[in-house]
Amino acid sequence: MEFAVLADAFKKMEDTTKRLELTQILVDLFKVTSPELIPKIVYLIQGKLRPDYEGVELGVAEKLAIKAISKSSAIPIKKIEEEYRKSGDLGHAASIILEQKAQTTFVVEDITVERVYETLFKIAKLEGARSQDMKMKYISSLLNDANPLEARFILKILLGTLRLGIAENTVMDALATAYTGTKENRESLEKAYNVSSDLGMVAKVIAKEGLQGVKAFQITVFKPVRPMLADRVKSEKESIEKMGDKFAAEYKLDGERAQLHMKNGEVKLFSRSLEDIT
């Protein structure tokens, strides 16, 4: 899939705050996405590359991204920093800067979602003495071939500044609508997500196997279960109004909330935010 399709969808999402419109944009996007690609699209919408418990992080600093923009556009760093200060968004600044870029290459590779994802994954896995140089090389290779809108969202993903206003429930509504015809089936997707903590995998299964595949999800050792999170209330009266006449209450104690997974002598500990803290 051309990355331009995803970038265009991201732009539409940024331009609205209405949940129904956001859901429809996602439905339209999912319907033109292959089942094999759907998990990568979902991860990117979430602003990540893999589920949280795998600990895959991009770790790209703004200074490095600015250097990569300068290398790709042949525009001085100072000018890029000035544009960044004006807009307050490096992705937006990059799109403006790259509109001024002169064509410097005769052969331009296609920018596909697959290429962007795999390049970002390579960046996330880099470590060691030359890792910063390699990161800049990979980023520049994408920016060299990207149009301004594509560059804008590539950088937003890289820097963790992709703000689409998309809640996970909205993604699940869209998946249910796209692949089962009604968002009423979201509950089944939510149950699968709760026991797997991997919305990309849930998306792939609903796309390939339908609702029956999603209903087959079970708790699996070393894949943390999503924790129940409390809602704040202002008073005891409000809690009674929310919960009804009969409910149990307990003190909230200080401490570490964690999950312990054990199998065949192997042990893993996951935090409240699903990070592997073994």
64, 33, 40: which is closest to 155 by C-alpha?
A: 64
User: Mind giving me the DSSP string for 151-163?
Assistant: HHHHHHHHHT---
CB burial of residue 104 (10 Å; 0-12, 13-18, 19+): exposed
Q: Are strands 266-271 and 258-263 parallel, antiparallel or unpaired?
A: antiparallel
- The catalytic residue among 18, 234, 237, 252 is 252
H runs (alpha helix) in the chain:
3-14, 19-31, 38-45, 62-73, 77-87, 90-99, 113-125, 131-145, 148-159, 168-180, 186-196, 199-215, 236-243
Nearest alpha-carbon partner for 273 in 234, 232, 235, 224: 224
User: What does the block give as tokens for 243?
Assistant: 């919960």
270 strand-pairing partners: 259, 276
C-alpha distance from residue 181 to each of 62, 185, 186, 210 (Å): 42, 9, 11, 11
Burial (CB count <10 Å: 0-12, 13-18, 19+), residue 109: exposed
Residues β-bridged to residue 102: none
**Length of the chain in residues, anyone?**
278
242 belongs to the catalytic site: no
**Which residues are known to be catalytic?**
252
